[in-house]
Amino acid sequence: MNTFAKRLSMTLLAAALPLCAHAADKITIMVGGIEKQIYLPAKLTENLGYFREQGLNVELQSEQAGVNAENQMLAGAVQGVVGFYDHTIDLQAKGKAAMSVVQFSQAPGEVILVSTKLAGAMRSPADFKGRTIGVTGLGSSTNFLTQYLAAKNGVKSSQFSVLPVGAGTTFIAAMMQGRIDAGMTTEPTISRLQLTNVARVLVDLRTPESTKKELGGLYPAASLYMSTSWVNAHPAEVQKLANAFVKTMKFINTHSAAEVAAKLPADYYAGDKAAYIKALAAEKSMFTPDGVMPAGGPETVLQVLRGFNTAIRSKNIDLSKTYTTRFVKAAR
């Protein structure tokens, strides 16, 4: 190769490298409803500047139903999902590999609300028969938990209807219009419906204590999960994400609900900052202090999923492949 050709080759290579590096630097994370309190670590990490501190260019996107966020990850449109850990088990049963790399919570942070008009007739999931129950989406974690609670109380899935109604304003509209009799949702939607006396709590999964009572143990829920192949191919990036999120979990653990809320956008309060802070203070114990998967948690989740899902019941699930503590422990 002559001197001119060598110089041209080196010039082209030098021009191409920054473009490749720039493309690899951006990480897109889909959040299953970014304004939900259960997923606040995502926006909080961004607002505290912890992504930038790690040299990361992270774009947060929002999708109201966790199952849709999962589909975006499987399609390669996003690199990670802030959603429920139970999806990693469900995916393994379907022959796909994903893992939680940072565990945000040890309780779902969800409740089943019942319309005030039907509160007398519906006192537990045993009264789901003949009713329409709202969930964020079919195949979502709210759907999983609703089906389990029904089965636990002797109600078959064929004996009630499930209607995907999203979260926030769409969930509220479905409840007010009578399209659902009850439904599973999170804060701040819970407080909005309680304050207007539209609905009452039927089943509470907002704290570790109430979760143990209903589900038999801690239920690791909100997490950052990613496809196993992406984690294996990008350990440096995953470590930086873990560093940022672990710092956020420590911030939540060492600050008051008011101090945490002050770092979030005002529109997250759904028009009532005081109610938002009160709700967060009541359920802040659902968050892990360090991003580590709680001991025994994966076993509880598997037991719940097997309680209603025959496909998972028939599979030999390897829980060790559904999460890793490698990155969060290194971050600590």
Given this model, what pLDDT does residue 283 score? 97
pTM as predicted: 0.89
Which one-letter amino acid corresponds to residue 98? A
Q: What are phi and psi of 151, to 5 degrees?
A: -60, -40
pLDDT-flagged residues of the chain (< 50): 1, 3-24
Residues 130-142 pLDDT 10s: 999 999 988 899 9
Q: State the Cα–Cα distance between residues 100 and 135, nearest whole angstrom.
A: 23
Q: Delimit the CATH 3.40.190.10 region(s) of the chain.
A: 24-107+219-331, 110-205
Q: Which two structure tokens, joined as six digits, stand for 229?
A: 């192949």
Which one-letter amino acid corresponds to residue 320? S
Given this model, what pLDDT does residue 3 score? 44
Given this model, what pLDDT does residue 65 score? 67
Given this model, what pLDDT does residue 8 score? 40
Given this model, what pLDDT does residue 70 score? 87
Given this model, what pLDDT does residue 21 score? 33
Question: 3-state class of 323 per DSSP?
Answer: strand
Given this model, what pLDDT does residue 68 score? 79
Given this model, what pLDDT does residue 34 score? 94
Q: Taking the chain, what is the end-to-end CA distance rounded to the nearest angstrom?
A: 51
CATH number of 110-205: 3.40.190.10
CATH number of 24-107+219-331: 3.40.190.10
Given this model, what pLDDT does residue 22 score? 38
Residues 21-46 pLDDT 10s: 333 479 999 999 999 999 999 999 99
Given this model, what pLDDT does residue 67 score? 72
